[in-house]
Amino acid sequence: MSQSAPQRSLTASDIRARKGADPLVCLTAYTTPVAQLADADCDLVLVGDSVGMVLHGLPSTLGVTMEMMVLHGRAVARGLSRALMVVDMPFGSYEESPAQAFRNAAHLMAETGAGAVKLEGGAHMEDTIRFIVDRGIPVMAHIGLTPQAVNALGGYKVQGRGADADRILEDARAVTRAGAFSVVLEKVPAALADQITAGIDIPTVGIGASAGCDGQILVIDDMLGLFDAFKPKFVKRYGDLASEARTAIRTYAEEVRARSFPAPEHVFSQEEPGT
């Protein structure tokens, strides 16, 4: 009886070929167990620089380092067998020059086993994206609200309203010309997201954009309801893990204080065989 071939991981080319097909399912992950959970149903798993806020308690993504991205990238890689893993390039690792960007992108790829990197910025990053792609590293672009530029943008505001729509449109065209295999559209009006999706030949992945995008992505802690301090408008909670965790921890604490845990079935006797 022949054995089936091992499952092949998706590549950037596979994602690129999904333009206009079934929507791409994308989530973030930062740890091996969560990556294992996401792998079966996700086409793309992003090791996002959001890890700084989600797991490290930073006030923004600006303090995230290359070392942090390598650490979490390695962890996520151990949990994936199917989904494409994309690793974010952190703030300060690619803006100085195309050469700097390539060196750091190559480092992330080599150290984590990622299938692609993601960087923020549109027309002003066109030459940088092209430089990286021409040297064999797939790039996922990110336009609209770019959190690493939060100070320049004046906060986490919707981008592309009114006359500003032309800027976002040109950003989309620029990253497409540069050779990005896909582009994240964050926090832009739905009509603009639809216009971009129809007007470029690479997949768009929306987060606070439109159901008409070629795919969707959310921060997994938001989607699971594990982070509940606040909820952006574009987030739908598919679980309430924070509430469940608080209840479980409270019950555990009560049982420890009452000495009802560990119960007899959780402890070992002198006569019990094995471990």
**Nearest Cα to Cα of residue 35 among 3, 102, 83:** 83
Q: Which of 96, 170, 186, 254 is catalytic?
A: 186
> What whole-number distance in Å separates Cα of residue 83 and Cα of residue 77?
10
Segment holding 193, helix H or strand E: helix 190-199
**CB 219 within 8 Å of CB 232:** no
Q: 10 Å Cβ neighbour count for 246?
A: 11
Tokens encoding 27: 């989530």
**Nearest Cα to Cα of residue 214 among 33, 6, 44:** 44
> What whole-number distance in Å separates Cα of residue 40 and Cα of residue 34?
11
Q: What is the DSSP letter of 227?
A: -
> What whole-number distance in Å separates Cα of residue 273 and Cα of residue 107?
50
Does residue 25 come out as left (phi exceeding 0), alpha (psi in the -120 to 50 range) or beta?
beta
**CB 194 within 8 Å of CB 212:** yes
- Asked if 186 is an active-site residue, the reply is yes
Q: What is the DSSP letter of 121?
A: B
Active site members:
186
